[in-house]
A and B are shown apart, each in its own frame.
Chain A
């Protein structure tokens, strides 16, 4: 056995010893057992894995979550001002008394732990299915671990245009909470739904969001991973986009000791569209990793990946992004950009953009840059009377604008922008 294999086996054994498969799920039991088998076969990641070269998985592998100081101040969670249906999770446990009545015209909303006990349920076809598909060609062990051990989460099915977004609000009250949440979303043909997510809400949080966007349907996802400097989280978004369907996901990350956000999207029907974007702002002990894998499996689809990172005082940003174009996916339009703005010299940005193309009628472009604030532009603004700090903020906002533009809804974009501006004001040099 190689050294890496031994490390992997050891990490997997120690982690699994600390967990038990949840009981009492009819259809879910089978899905959990299958996920556990997947996990056992692949093992947890180690630093030597190519996919984890830039992000150390040790703290995510550890049997217990390291204590993370609670964020100070009682800042309201993101999307407080947005008219939405709120589902509140405290340290990874659904809190019905703090949530809204889960009734929304054209939308079914259930709790995973309750739906799992029923014999027949629509989520049976979805739970763990997209996660399992997403394990090939690259293993995503934390997602398999999530499917096996998640006890809570939301199951949401939209069969019409939802009139309000559903907001998943994660709150944290414990210093050492270790939460695993698994959500499934199905947007039926022609329907549309927006799901919001706010806050990591645990010292260590592992979330999986599986989304099936049926023919002609639209799914929007806007997430704010907020002011919680010491927490760690690993998240996966698995999306399968049908013919002429659309998926758009945007994430704002502010602080956090470790964040790994993976998005695994499959354009499965002709004329589909998948956009995934993110803006990450880090100051000091901040490690942020965006790992994206977009598969074009059908003709005439369009995809965009837009990731911007603003790094201060030793913060680290990672981007691994791939576009895979299968032979059937003629007339693919793929775009990928990852950029970082290094506000201090000791920050680093590691990028690994990849294209793998098997069709011949394809338009794909990718770019990756990192650099400091443009001193010429800064002087120009100052020469017009804008003080240095404000001028810097203006240039930072200009830098992240392309990612923010991926949020379609004006009010949601304004909400995210306000959070971003707040961070900039609090983190001036």
Chain B
């Protein structure tokens, strides 16, 4: 589903390479995790895939089901089925959460040549999805993420994911700032979305989220490259020994 080949990226503002040849392939139905120390390029990878400005791809490719992601606008990537759950969900004063979600859903549908969803049907859909994530009606009425706690923001990201129903979900440090209960809620939300047609790339610093969202494959990223790939046991190894051993090994 997601194929990244030899991806090199630098910052636009300064000539500083961040990604130095990332190779990664995630198949439909799979859950991959990327772990790595701070500054290894994990978040940059997620931003570059989603189309955030400020980065320059100097080499390599990234495709989603064969479509060249890097040639697409962020909204086109979303309509093609890519979703990034932000590490820091953005507050948008004045835009109601519900309006935001419906606008997004219908914009994607329109881009795909599908019919827009009516208000009644949308309301039913959002109520059902929100209930599962313990999101109350009040939170849906409030402006996007404004005044939300850390946990509420992350649950709101998963709600958006559930509504937009993307095929490739990237979760960027979704566990950061969450207590154990909130993490379980978020993980349950993600697990409920797992199916044969959908893939996940879970970016995390710690192993604990992976106790709840069980990955099929774990990658270790360091200094802009994937330095090791293995099964779930790799995450446990990181948990036990930290990154130092692995980094020393590949250096």
Measuring CB to CB, which residues of chain A are less than 8 angstroms from any residue of chain B?
374-377, 379-388, 390-391, 394-395, 397-399, 401-402
Contacts of A379 in B (CB 8 A): 51-53, 74, 90
Contacts of B104 in A (CB 8 A): 381, 384-386
A398 to B143, CA, bound (A): 9
Contact A385 B95 (CB under 8 A): no
Among listed B5-13, B78-86, B225-233, interface-contacting one: B78-86
Whether B108 is near chain A, meaning CB under 8 Å from some CB there, is yes
Q: Taking A385-B104, A387-B107 as contacts, is the C-beta distance between A395 and B92 under 8 angstroms?
A: yes
Whether B75 is near chain A, meaning CB under 8 Å from some CB there, is yes
- A-B contact sample (5 more), CB < 8 A, given A377-B92, A381-B92, A394-B103: A380-B92, A387-B111, A388-B73, A394-B100, A395-B94
Contacts of A401 in B (CB 8 A): 94
Residue of A nearest to B93 (CB): A398
Q: Taking A383-B50, A384-B164, A386-B107 as contacts, is the C-beta distance between A399 and B94 under 8 angstroms?
A: yes
12 examples of A-B residue contacts, CB within 8 angstroms: A377-B92, A383-B50, A383-B78, A383-B86, A384-B104, A384-B164, A385-B164, A387-B73, A387-B75, A394-B99, A397-B94, A398-B95
Between A and B, how many residue pairs show CB distances below 8 Å?
A: 76
Contacts of B86 in A (CB 8 A): 380, 383
Contacts of B93 in A (CB 8 A): 398
A396 to B99, CA, bound (A): 14
B166, chain A: closest CB distance, angstroms: 9
Residue of B nearest to A398 (CB): B94
Whether B44 is near chain A, meaning CB under 8 Å from some CB there, is no
Whether B87 is near chain A, meaning CB under 8 Å from some CB there, is no
Q: Taking A379-B52, A379-B53, A379-B74 as contacts, is the C-beta distance between A385 and B107 under 8 angstroms?
A: yes
Whether B174 is near chain A, meaning CB under 8 Å from some CB there, is no
Residue of B nearest to A387 (CB): B75
Contacts of B160 in A (CB 8 A): 384
A400, chain B: closest CB distance, angstroms: 8
B97, chain A: closest CB distance, angstroms: 12
Contacts of A391 in B (CB 8 A): 75
Residue of B nearest to A400 (CB): B94
B159, chain A: closest CB distance, angstroms: 12
Contact A377 B90 (CB under 8 A): yes
Contact B79 A385 (CB under 8 A): yes
Name the one of A376, A377, A386 contacting B75, with C-beta atoms under 8 angstroms. Answer: A386
Q: Describe A's contact surface by its main secondary structure.
A: helix
Contact B90 A380 (CB under 8 A): yes
Contact B51 A382 (CB under 8 A): yes
A379 to B78, CA, bound (A): 11
Name the one of A381, A382, A390 contacting B73, with C-beta atoms under 8 angstroms. Answer: A382
A385 to B95, CA, bound (A): 15
A401 to B90, CA, bound (A): 19
Contact A385 B92 (CB under 8 A): no
User: Which 9 A/B pairs are nearest by Cβ-Cβ distance?
Assistant: A398-B94, A385-B78, A385-B108, A384-B104, A382-B74, A380-B90, A401-B94, A398-B95, A382-B75
Residue of A nearest to B90 (CB): A380
Contacts of A395 in B (CB 8 A): 92, 94-95
A196 to B94, CA, bound (A): 26
Contacts of B53 in A (CB 8 A): 375, 379
A67, chain B: closest CB distance, angstroms: 40
B74, chain A: closest CB distance, angstroms: 4
Residue of B nearest to A405 (CB): B94
Q: Taking A382-B74, A383-B78, A385-B79 as contacts, is the C-beta distance between A390 and B51 under 8 angstroms?
A: no
A382 to B79, CA, bound (A): 10
Contacts of A374 in B (CB 8 A): 92
Contacts of B103 in A (CB 8 A): 386, 390, 394
A118 to B84, CA, bound (A): 73
Q: Which of B14-48 contact A (CB under 8 A)?
A: none
Scoring B73, B78, B93, B94 by chain A CB atoms within 10 A of each residue's CB, the highest score goes to B94
A381 to B79, CA, bound (A): 12
Name the one of B84, B92, B105 contacting A383, with C-beta atoms under 8 angstroms. Answer: B84
A402 to B95, CA, bound (A): 11
B47, chain A: closest CB distance, angstroms: 9
Contacts of A386 in B (CB 8 A): 75, 103-104, 107
Contact B74 A383 (CB under 8 A): yes
A384, chain B: closest CB distance, angstroms: 4
Contact A384 B73 (CB under 8 A): no
Contact A382 B90 (CB under 8 A): no
A395 to B84, CA, bound (A): 21
Residue of A nearest to B50 (CB): A383
Name the one of A390, A398, A402 contacting B92, with C-beta atoms under 8 angstroms. Answer: A398
A385 to B101, CA, bound (A): 10
Contacts of A402 in B (CB 8 A): 94
Contacts of B95 in A (CB 8 A): 394-395, 397-398
B77, chain A: closest CB distance, angstroms: 8
Contacts of B91 in A (CB 8 A): 377
Contacts of B111 in A (CB 8 A): 385, 387
Contacts of A382 in B (CB 8 A): 51, 73-75, 78
Contact A376 B90 (CB under 8 A): yes
